[in-house]
Amino acid sequence: MRNKAVLSVGESGCAFSFEISGSSFSLNGLRGKICEWLTPSQPSAFLGVTVNGRHYTAQELTCLGKEESQPVPGIRQTVFRFEGQGWELHQTVRVYAGFPLMEVEPRLVNNGDVEIVVERIDSLDLTLKAEDLTLMGFSGNWGSEFEPLTFKPYQPFVLESRSGRSSKGHHPWTALVSPQGEVLSAAVAWSGNWVMRFEPLQGGALRFSGGLHDWLFSKRLKPGEAVHGVPLVLVMGQDLNEISRHLSRVGRRFWYPRNALSLQLPVEWNHWWPYEDVEINEEVFLANARKAAELGFEVCTLDAGWFGPGDAGTFWYDYRGDWHRVNTRRFPHGIRFLSDAVHALGMKFGIWCEIEALGEKASLSRDRPDLPARRDGVPLGYVCMGNPAAQEWAFQTLSRLIREWGCDWIKLDFNLDPGAGCNRTDHGHQEGDGLYEHYRGYYQMLTRLRQEFPDVVLENCSSGGLRIDLGMLRQTHMTFLSDPDWAVHDLQIFWGASTMLAPSVLLHWTYSHWRNIDPPPQQRFDPLDPALTRAKWDYYTRISMLGWYGLSQKLSELPAWLAERVAQHNRLYQNEVRRFIRDGDLHRLTTQPLRSGMGDRWAAFQYSLPDESEHLLFVFRLPGGEPRRVIRLADLQASRRYRVFGLEGEVEWYRTGRSLMEEGLEVDFLQEEESLLLKIVSTNKKDS
């Protein structure tokens, strides 16, 4: 029997249903005309696989039935089983209670008597209406993350990553926007190569398929063996803010790892940009740690430069992998000495480690020739986690850093492109699935690490923001957004990243003082510049406060007035702001600013606590922004009166919710590169 996607209407409104051999699975509770995304005249394939050189969809297979379960409260899971030729295809569909969101993850099992070869495994394959549809996405590269893409599906188009890192190329997210502004969004929860394909069909339809990239991928399955596809998340809403709200709430409740330290959103100082591995040493780090404690920081992180030969000129990139060696020229008393000093000052201690990477001069290549990834005999510059021995080495190495040095926070970086990955056949993986098994092994190692050390925070980083995805955010407590952090760039990447991820897992630093002798043109912040004003510093800092907040400055050399202002901002974030970042819903009230000077030249973001009794409003006037902007708020109670005031007493208004949402706040007193941080509280009075 043909399996098809159908539309149905029930008591709760529209339903998005898959009718499979007479039984149906529905995603109910969707509002308005959202179900008109699907094309009932052209059935959807549901999912697809290529086995032994032939591509199959669910429509071509025999449905064997379905099994339903509830793995955890709030998640309903249905597994549909399809029969192939000596193999079965299982499609797991997860629905999250109260959310118009579902997650699909296929699995193919060889239940025959002979070996088969799987070359493609799509997580989803739908046929959608394409009339007047606009597709959104983001491209990503170093320092140019979340560059917006908008296109019409008049011809075949692909969003993908072939770099081996999920957000180099394109970011693993897309939104399809109807002429009415309704949105269907998809995100691939995978950190390696992925693809989303858009293929126009006759009759005004659009075929959308995607999941694990089939580029240079293959996996042989012996009888009894199985291969998983990658999770793909599909969510629907009335606009982009609603989509983001659903993803954030589900992420915080079901996906993101959490512990006491991560829930605190501690304010971090990191040594990297002002010192790199050139000027950092024990004396410099401890001087900054003492100043950090004085200014109210809660975490001090030692970035790259602590490992390798005992030579002041050691270049960090060359010796990645030699995590057993401490550079005793820079740190004569060792790393535990620093950790103990930081803890004695009342702060947590963090350390950087690019556990996957392997520098050209690292002794690990000679000592453990079984670990390096190679493709056609050429070293790829990383340790292949598709090898169980490499997983064990990585786990034991990170465990030692935590146990012996008392680390509370591990920053996990990855500064290379593995491409299609390792094709060694002595690692336990095959020649066609090295990258796939690397990421499965890396995830398994991180899961084990969190289980063994549940109080330690894990930070995801990859040349800044080149591996940001829902798969990695199920393994780490937050992700770093980008290496550069000048103001307009910050606003662009935060706007983009928050479409998919909650602000509480987005870490970025206030405009950093780089020691780099040739930084990007805009990355030239100087804290000693006499033209730097308090208002401009507030503008820089409040941008970082939109998510998980930190600083990378020479704290011990800040001018007195700036150090005092840093301390004030730290207290403000700790006492007022971070509870909104941790628990609130985000509304992007303006369109995306662009680092190029294009896009919106004002930026406004509103956070609303779940009971909607309190709200926080960030407003920024960018270079080139018009002198006056009206900011219209969201999700207020129209009949209530609200007090709107600056957290430091700058302004105060009393307005009704209706007025704030319909007429808005007129802001005509900010100069370029100035900002407002306002709190909005209901007075519990109704407008008469």
Q: How far apart are the C-alpha atoms of 321 and 397, rounded to whole Å?
A: 10
**154 or 495, greater pLDDT:** 495
Q: How far apart are the C-alpha atoms of 169 and 417, rounded to whole Å?
A: 11
Q: How far apart are the C-alpha atoms of 178 and 248, rounded to whole Å?
A: 22
- The answer to whether 475 and 260 have CB atoms below 8 angstroms apart is no
pLDDT in tens, 101-157: 999 999 999 999 999 999 999 999 999 988 889 999 999 999 999 999 999 988 999
Q: What confidence category does residue 22 fall into, taking pLDDT thresholds of 50, 70 and 90?
A: very low
DSSP per residue, 43-85: ---EEEEEETTEEEEGGGSEEEEEEEE-SSTTEEEEEEEEE-S
User: Could you give the 3-state DSSP secondary structure of residue 491?
Assistant: helix
- Residue 447 structure tokens: 């899961």
What pLDDT, on a 0 to 100 scale, did the predictor assign at position 244?
98
What pLDDT, on a 0 to 100 scale, did the predictor assign at position 688?
45
Q: What confidence category does residue 203 fall into, taking pLDDT thresholds of 50, 70 and 90?
A: confident
Percent of the chain scored above 70 by pLDDT? 94
**Considering the chain, what is the average pLDDT of its residues?**
93
Percent of the chain scored above 90 by pLDDT? 87
Question: What burial letters (b/e) apply to 233-263, b meaning 16+ CB within 10 Å?
Answer: bbbbbbbbbbbbbbbbbbbbebbbbeeebbe
User: Could you give the 3-state DSSP secondary structure of residue 642?
Assistant: strand
Dump strand ranges (E) for 154-261: 157-161, 169-170, 173-177, 183-188, 194-201, 205-212, 219-221, 226-228, 232-237
Q: How far apart are the C-alpha atoms of 176 and 420, rounded to whole Å?
A: 29
Contacts of 596 (CB under 8 A, 6+ apart): none
DSSP per residue, 606-636: EEE-TTSSEEEEEEEEPTT--S-EEE---S-
Residue 273 phi/psi, 5° resolution? -65, -40
**375 or 26, greater pLDDT:** 375
Which of 42-56, 122-136, 158-172 has the highest average model confidence (pLDDT)?
A: 158-172
Q: How far apart are the C-alpha atoms of 386 and 440, rounded to whole Å?
A: 7
What pLDDT, on a 0 to 100 scale, did the predictor assign at position 446?
98
- The answer to whether 464 and 482 have CB atoms below 8 angstroms apart is yes
How far from chain centre, in Å, is Cα 463? Answer: 14
Residue 67 has pLDDT above 80, yes or no: yes
- The answer to whether 479 and 460 have CB atoms below 8 angstroms apart is yes
Element (H, E) at 372: strand 372-375
* Residue range 573-578: mean pLDDT, rounded: 98
* Residue range 199-222: mean pLDDT, rounded: 95
Which of 81, 80, 84, 3 has its CA nearest to residue 43? 3
- Residue 130 structure tokens: 């394409």
- Residue 104 structure tokens: 């699909």
Residue 221 phi/psi, 5° resolution? -120, 120
- The answer to whether 88 and 82 have CB atoms below 8 angstroms apart is yes
Question: Phi/psi zone of residue 262: left (φ > 0), alpha (ψ -120 to 50 degrees), beta?
Answer: alpha
pLDDT in tens, 277-332: 999 999 999 999 999 999 999 999 999 999 999 988 999 999 999 999 999 999 99
Q: What confidence category does residue 42 fall into, taking pLDDT thresholds of 50, 70 and 90?
A: confident
Q: How far apart are the C-alpha atoms of 47 and 38, rounded to whole Å?
A: 15
Which of 36-40, 264-268, 680-684 has the highest average model confidence (pLDDT)?
A: 264-268
Rg (CA), the chain: 26
pLDDT in tens, 250-269: 999 999 999 999 999 999 99
Contacts of 637 (CB under 8 A, 6+ apart): 612, 657, 682
Residue 80 has pLDDT above 60, yes or no: yes
Residue 335 has pLDDT above 50, yes or no: yes
What pLDDT, on a 0 to 100 scale, did the predictor assign at position 32?
36
- Residue 8 structure tokens: 């149905």
Q: How far apart are the C-alpha atoms of 299 and 265, rounded to whole Å?
A: 10
What pLDDT, on a 0 to 100 scale, did the predictor assign at position 31?
36
∠ CA 580-583-585, rounded to 5°: 80
Amino acid at 25: F
How far from chain centre, in Å, is Cα 156? Answer: 27
Q: What confidence category does residue 16 fall into, taking pLDDT thresholds of 50, 70 and 90?
A: very low
Q: How far apart are the C-alpha atoms of 9 and 323, rounded to whole Å?
A: 59
pLDDT in tens, 581-636: 999 999 999 999 999 999 999 999 999 999 888 999 999 999 999 999 999 999 99
Amino acid at 224: G
Q: Name the residue with tokens 């740190």.
A: 331
DSSP per residue, 272-305: HHHHTTTT--HHHHHHHHHHHHHHT--EEEE-S-
Task: Map out the domains of the chain with their CATH numbers.
Answer: 4-255 (2.70.98.60), 260-582 (3.20.20.70)
- The answer to whether 440 and 217 have CB atoms below 8 angstroms apart is no
What pLDDT, on a 0 to 100 scale, did the predictor assign at position 687?
56
Which 8-state DSSP code applies to residue 584? Answer: P
- The answer to whether 535 and 255 have CB atoms below 8 angstroms apart is no
Lowest mean pLDDT among 30-39, 210-219, 293-302: 30-39
Q: How far apart are the C-alpha atoms of 433 and 430, rounded to whole Å?
A: 6
* Residue range 377-398: mean pLDDT, rounded: 98
Q: How many CB atoms lie within 10 A of CB 287?
A: 15
Element (H, E) at 490: helix 487-497
Element (H, E) at 247: helix 240-250
Which of 84, 420, 44, 61 has its CA nearest to residue 209? 44
